[in-house]
Amino acid sequence: MMKKFFDFPNEKIEQLKALNYEHLIFRAMPHFVMELMRGYFRLEVEGIENIPKRGPALIAPNHSGYSGFDAMVLTHEIYRATGRPPRVLTHHFWFLSKTTARAASKAGFIEANMENGLKHLRKQNLVVIFPEGETGNFKPSLKRYHLQEFRRGFVRMALDAQCPIIPTLIIGAEETHINLRQFKLPPALANLTLPLPLNLIPLPAKWKIIFLKPIHFPYQSGAANDDELVHELASEVREEMQQALSQEIGKRESIFR
């Protein structure tokens, strides 16, 4: 009887092992590392009440630091504070192989395109999009906290899905990883833009994340097809974020405290 009770089929044992492995690699370890990073960066957060408790929203942060730490810390903090796991529209580089694509999907990353963004907004999810794209992420550190030109897709998504945009400031990532310059690979190498980093070990700059007031556009979904309006709205969001970012940087007494 005892033998029969403990006589699990081999496939069941393998499934349990896989479940434990998945939990460890994609849940427990990332959570542990993110909590360590919160302490290392002495992270402060303001305006978390501006993240809606339900319904779709586009969270639009500045992008910097080349490493992607800004996306990881941001999404961890949103989930930690709200219990809502945001989806992050991510560079297609992450999806060039099955291994990286699997890791990215487990982290809540989705390939950055209009279709994916709208799909998750229509599922009432939070979606993170970096309007500067790779140009902001890989800009030289000499241009830190100067927002690069915004791509307009985030405005089209917000109009089409009729959801708010939450402009978000991430301060500290620019000093955590220093980038000397960016360079673009030729078409034969997928036109990738890459950084030239000075340091790989993150410096202990103090981080602050600020969620600004939501922006609700007073237009119907059809306005997403109005190129002139979309360009104007994207410029207005960028101007508001740049002004707020410059004000916050002016308040800092030190990069490291």
Q: Which CATH class is domain 41-251?
A: alpha beta
pLDDT tens per residue across span 59-87 = 999 998 888 889 989 999 999 999 999 99
Closest CA to 248 of 37, 240, 236: 240
pTM: 0.87
Spans of all domains in the chain: 41-251
d(CA 125, CA 123): 6
pLDDT in tens, the chain (257 residues): 444 444 546 665 555 455 565 556 556 777 888 899 999 999 999 999 999 999 999 999 999 888 888 998 999 999 999 999 999 998 766 666 677 667 667 677 888 899 999 999 999 999 999 999 888 888 999 999 999 999 999 999 999 999 999 999 999 999 999 999 888 777 766 667 788 889 999 999 999 999 999 999 999 999 999 999 999 999 999 999 999 999 999 999 899 87
